[in-house]
A = this chain, B = another copy of it.
Amino acid sequence: MRFAAFRHRCCHVLTLVALLAICAQAFAQTDPLPSWNDGPAKQAIVAFVRATTDQSSPTFVPPEARIATFDQDGTLWVEHPMYSQVIYCLERVPAVVKAKPELAKVEPFKTVLSGNREAMAKLSMKDLEKILVATLTGMSVDAFNAEARKWLDTAKDPRWKRPYTELTYLPMQEVLKYLRANGYKTYIVTGGGQDFVRVYAEQTYGIPPEQVVGTAGGTTYGYAKDGQPFLTKEAKLLLNDNNAGKPEGIHLMIGRRPYAAFGNSTGDRQMLEYAKAGDGARLSMLVLHDDATREYAYGPAQGLPATRVGTFTQALYDEATQRGWVVISMKHDWKRIFAFE
Q: Contact residues of A with B, CB < 8 Å?
A: 64, 67, 141, 185, 194-195, 198, 202, 208-210, 212, 216, 218-221, 228-229, 231, 238-239, 244, 247-248, 251-256, 270, 273-274, 277
Please state if A231 and B210 are interface contacts (CB–CB under 8 Å): no
Please state if A229 and B273 are interface contacts (CB–CB under 8 Å): yes
Contact of A231 among B67, B194, B218, B248 (CB under 8 A): B248
9 nearest A-B pairs in the assembled complex, by CB-CB distance? A209-B255, A221-B244, A210-B254, A198-B255, A229-B273, A221-B247, A219-B248, A228-B277, A219-B251
Please state if A208 and B248 are interface contacts (CB–CB under 8 Å): no
Please state if A255 and B219 are interface contacts (CB–CB under 8 Å): no
Please state if A210 and B256 are interface contacts (CB–CB under 8 Å): yes
Minimum CB–CB distance from A247 to chain B (whole Å) comes to 5
**Which residue of chain B has its CB nearest to the CB of A253?**
B253
Minimum CB–CB distance from A173 to chain B (whole Å) comes to 18
A209 touching B141 in the complex, CB below 8 Å, given contacts A231-B248, A244-B221: no
Chain B residues within an 8 Å CB radius of A198? 255
A218 touching B254 in the complex, CB below 8 Å, given contacts A229-B273, A229-B277: no
User: Would you give 12 A-B contacts (Cβ < 8 Å), ordered by A?
Assistant: A64-B202, A194-B252, A198-B255, A209-B254, A210-B253, A210-B254, A210-B255, A210-B256, A220-B244, A221-B270, A231-B248, A238-B239
Contact of A229 among B208, B218, B239, B274 (CB under 8 A): B274
Please state if A231 and B208 are interface contacts (CB–CB under 8 Å): no
Minimum CB–CB distance from A318 to chain B (whole Å) comes to 14
Minimum CB–CB distance from A80 to chain B (whole Å) comes to 28
Please state if A221 and B274 are interface contacts (CB–CB under 8 Å): yes
**Alpha-carbon distance A208/B254, docked complex (angstroms):** 9
**Which residue of chain B has its CB nearest to the CB of A199?**
B255
**Alpha-carbon distance A185/B254, docked complex (angstroms):** 15
Minimum CB–CB distance from A223 to chain B (whole Å) comes to 9
**Alpha-carbon distance A328/B158, docked complex (angstroms):** 58
**Alpha-carbon distance A248/B238, docked complex (angstroms):** 12
Please state if B202 and A231 are interface contacts (CB–CB under 8 Å): no
Please state if B270 and A252 are interface contacts (CB–CB under 8 Å): no
**Alpha-carbon distance A274/B239, docked complex (angstroms):** 23
**Alpha-carbon distance A210/B209, docked complex (angstroms):** 13
**Alpha-carbon distance A97/B173, docked complex (angstroms):** 52
Minimum CB–CB distance from A231 to chain B (whole Å) comes to 5
Chain B residues within an 8 Å CB radius of A194? 252, 255
**Which residue of chain B has its CB nearest to the CB of A254?**
B210
